[in-house]
Each structure stands twice: as structure tokens, then as C-alpha cells.
């Protein structure tokens, strides 16, 4: 049973196909290539700015000698590593700002 509160890549492809009549295989290829470009940019330490949507970037998280594995409780050390960060743009922030308030009314 599908989660009606989740939007998957397959659903996006189907929606674009139904709305615009684009070929499903072409949509799938374009979406996959888009994400590959984003991943390549992040790998090359580039900031990916999608105006009206948001920005993806890599930030460095400092390592620690004493971290805890939440599954086992074991104390482990974690080396310095990169993490992908998404910052929503102003238009996206404004768009979703009152969504929860509208659902309650």
C-alpha cells in the first residue's frame, strides 16, 4: 500500500506524463540526469542554486572522538566528513509557510 503523503520519483514521472503527455522514459532519463548533475556539482564542492526553489551545498562536519552508535550504544570515533545541506529559497519558504495552518482550519 502506497503512502499517500509521499511523492516519489515514479509519481512525479506519472504526473508529468499525464499532465503534459511527455514520454515516461524521456522524463525518467531527464530526472536521473538532473540528479547526476547535482551530485557531480556537490562532489566538486560547487553550490547548486535553483532560483525559486533552494540551494544545495556541502558543509564539513567536524569529527569526534566520542560518538555513540545509536543502534548498539557502542562508543565510536567519527572522522571529519562532508554532509549535503539544502536551504530552501525565499519563494519556497513563502509557499510552505502557512500550509499547516490552512490544514487546521
* Contacts for 64 with CB less than 8 Å, ≥ 6 apart: 77, 78
Q: What are phi and psi of 44, to 5 degrees?
A: -90, 15
DSSP 4-60: TT---HHHHHHHHHHHH---HHHHHHHHHHHHHHHHHHHHTT--EEETTTEEEEEEE
Does the pLDDT of residue 46 top 50, yes or no? yes
pLDDT top residue among 99 and 6: 6
In which band, very low, low, confident or very high, does the pLDDT at 1 lie, cut at 50, 70 and 90? very low
pTM for the predicted model, two decimal places: 0.77
Amino acid at each position: 500500500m502506497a503512502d499517500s503523503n509521499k511523492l516519489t520519483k515514479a509519481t512525479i514521472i506519472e504526473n508529468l506524463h499525464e499532465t503534459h503527455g511527455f514520454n515516461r522514459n524521456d522524463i525518467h532519463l531527464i530526472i536521473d540526469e538532473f540528479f547526476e548533475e547535482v551530485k557531480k556539482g556537490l562532489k566538486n564542492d560547487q553550490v547548486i542554486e535553483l532560483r525559486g526553489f533552494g540551494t544545495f551545498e556541502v558543509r564539513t562536519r567536524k569529527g569526534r572522538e566520542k560518538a555513540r552508535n545509536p543502534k548498539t550504544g557502542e562508543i565510536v570515533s567519527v572522522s571529519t566528513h562532508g554532509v549535503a545541506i539544502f536551504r530552501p529559497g525565499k519563494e519556497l519558504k513563502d509557499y510552505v509557510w502557512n500550509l499547516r495552518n490552512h490544514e487546521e482550519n
